[in-house]
Amino acid sequence: MSKVLVIGAGGVGSVAVHKMAMNPDIFSHITLASRTKAKCDAIAESVKQRTGVTIDTAALDADDVAATTALIKAVQPKLVVNLALPYQDLNIMDACLAAGVNYLDTANYEPRDEAKFEYKWQWAYQDRFREAGLMALLGSGFDPGVTSVFTTWTKKHLLDRIDTLDILDCNGGDTGLPFATNFNPEINLREVTAPSRHWENGEWVEGPALAHKQVFDFDQVGPKNMYLMYHEELESLAKFYPEIKRIRFWMTFGDSYLKHLEVLENVGMTRIDPVKFQGQEIIPIQFLKALLPEPASLGPLTKGKTNIGTIATGVKDGAEKTVYVNNVCDHEEAYAETGNQAVSYTTGVPAMIGAALMLTGQWKGEGVFNMEQLDPDPFMDMLNKHGLPWKVRDLDGPLAF
Ligand code: NDP
């Protein structure tokens, strides 16, 4: 019997819970808790309708460690799956330690008052989890998550040494709306407006946000503009693969998205510091979030595909080789299966897979783990079986840029 407690009833939480319910042999009992219980209940109704499985729901403010600890103790899960926001990571890890339960998330901790995400805060929990005999798995989404598993699998099976690694994240989906973010708008905008950063010859190279553009022809999507960005898995990849000389992350953005973003930034709407408005303090980016569509509402609107993968150049048996591992996910198919668009789907499925591997003991350990530290093979198998099939092919040579 493997009980799981999922925290966060957004798009990612919804997909993860649907996919868990489709695998009752692994997830024998599911409780979904979030700040707004009505959102949990709506997901529970959809899960019941689609899979016949009944899940429990609860209201929880996960910023409250005592309340979170009490809920974990009441539910008694084997694992807590944190699909709320990065701000809650440390509080939920504290609650897991207090209740003696394993932990998993899909995004690393970010302080609210600084648009800065780093693993250092969560890596600092290493000794506490190890001493408690518990496991915390960090970043089991797509990116971070699957991209690190693709890299680890490439290193295990395809290349003796990796010299350069490029992560290419393309969302070729179209909502028909002039401006929407495909995951939590506040987190998304903080990420996209941060300076670009990539790893080269043992150090970080910084540049202005969204200033370095390349066109890439994505399978089943077509040519798209993609931009050099910082992304959290660069930090864990650089740590666990010191052999890699250059690691870069690219994400596609349409012209309309960038035009809106530029205006919003110029007028101060993406600011994260408090501003006085009519006698009270508001944080502009939080107000903007309230105006933008919720990612979970984009499911019925989004058409097209995502294509996310890794291109690694290195050496195999003494010869240079470049390999591309990627997944293509269709927004409409994701919606038909779970009621959510592909960005939520490509994150929620790996969260379910990471949870399944922990619950079945295929991934186990004591302490805080990144995806690069664990055997990629069972994860790669499950991706193929649970809706995110991947392809691997040799490229003629390294990327020309
Ligand atoms: P949403 O904004 O759709 O959902 C977040 C949910 O968390 C909401 O239901 C919200 O509840 C809940 N929540 C927020 N604060 C609290 C709190 N204090 N206590 C309890 N619940 C809370 O986001 P997404 O589903 O799009 O994203 C979820 C997570 O997945 C984020 O951390 C995001 O960064 C990560 N992510 C990771 C990706 C990857 O590939 N690794 C890709 C995309 C997302 P309410 O609605 O009631 O406020």
Output the DSSP codes for 349-368: HHHHHHHHHHHTTSS--SEE
Between strands 275-277 and 280-282, the pairing is antiparallel
Task: Give residue ranges with CB within 6 A of ligand 1.
Answer: 7-13, 34-36, 39, 60-63, 83-86, 88, 106-107, 141-145, 183-184, 187, 294-296, 344, 347
Q: How much is the mean pLDDT over the chain?
A: 96
Q: What is the rounded CA–CA span in Å between residue 129 and residue 121? A: 13
Categorize the per-residue pLDDT at 216 as very low, low, confident or very high, splitting at 50, 70 and 90. very high
Categorize the per-residue pLDDT at 188 as very low, low, confident or very high, splitting at 50, 70 and 90. confident
What pLDDT sits at residue 186?
Answer: 83
pLDDT tens, position by position, 246-280: 999 999 999 999 999 999 999 999 999 999 999 99
Categorize the per-residue pLDDT at 117 as very low, low, confident or very high, splitting at 50, 70 and 90. confident
Residue 16: count other Cβ atoms within 10 Å of its Cβ. Answer: 36
What pLDDT sits at residue 232?
Answer: 94
Contacts of 179 (CB under 8 A, 6+ apart): 256, 257, 260, 261, 292
Q: Tell me: pLDDT of 182 over 90.
A: no
What pLDDT sits at residue 296?
Answer: 79
What pLDDT sits at residue 189?
Answer: 86
Contacts of 78 (CB under 8 A, 6+ apart): 2, 3, 4, 101, 102, 359
Query: What would the two tokens of residue 338 be?
Result: 């779970």
Categorize the per-residue pLDDT at 315 as very low, low, confident or very high, splitting at 50, 70 and 90. very high
Global pTM reads 0.96
What pLDDT sits at residue 114?
Answer: 77
Tell me the mean pLDDT in the region 232-252: 97
Higher pLDDT, 295 or 74: 74
Nearest CA residue ID for atom 23, ligand 1: 184
Tell me the mean pLDDT in the region 92-110: 97
Q: Measure 234 CA to ligand 1 centroid, in angstroms.
A: 21
Q: Tell me: pLDDT of 313 over 90.
A: yes
Burial 119-132 (b: 16+ CB within 10 A, else e): beebbebeebbeeb
Q: Measure 286 CA to ligand 1 centroid, in angstroms.
A: 14
Q: Tell me: pLDDT of 115 over 80.
A: no
Q: How many residues does the chain have?
A: 401
What pLDDT sits at residue 191?
Answer: 86
| 18-27, 184-193, 382-391: segment of lowest average pLDDT | 184-193
Higher pLDDT, 111 or 136: 136
Tell me the mean pLDDT in the region 13-24: 98
Q: What is the rounded CA–CA span in Å between residue 33 and residue 15? A: 14
Ligand 1, atom nearest to 91 Cα:
18
Ligand 1, atom nearest to 60 Cα:
20
Contacts of 77 (CB under 8 A, 6+ apart): 3, 4, 5, 31, 101
Tell me the mean pLDDT in the region 110-133: 92
Q: Measure 399 CA to ligand 1 centroid, in angstroms.
A: 34
Main-chain phi, psi angles of 104, to 5 degrees: -145, 145
Categorize the per-residue pLDDT at 1 as very low, low, confident or very high, splitting at 50, 70 and 90. low
pLDDT tens, position by position, 55-92: 999 999 999 999 999 999 999 999 999 999 999 999 99
Nearest CA residue ID for atom 1, ligand 1: 10
Q: Measure 378 CA to ligand 1 centroid, in angstroms.
A: 26
| Domains annotated on the chain, with CATH | 3-138 (3.40.50.720), 146-338+390-395 (3.30.360.10)
Tell me the mean pLDDT in the region 217-227: 97
Nearest CA residue ID for atom 42, ligand 1: 347
Q: Measure 149 CA to ligand 1 centroid, in angstroms.
A: 22
Tell me the mean pLDDT in the region 4-23: 97
Find tokens 């898995």 and name the residue.
Answer: 233
Q: Tell me: pLDDT of 179 over 70.
A: yes
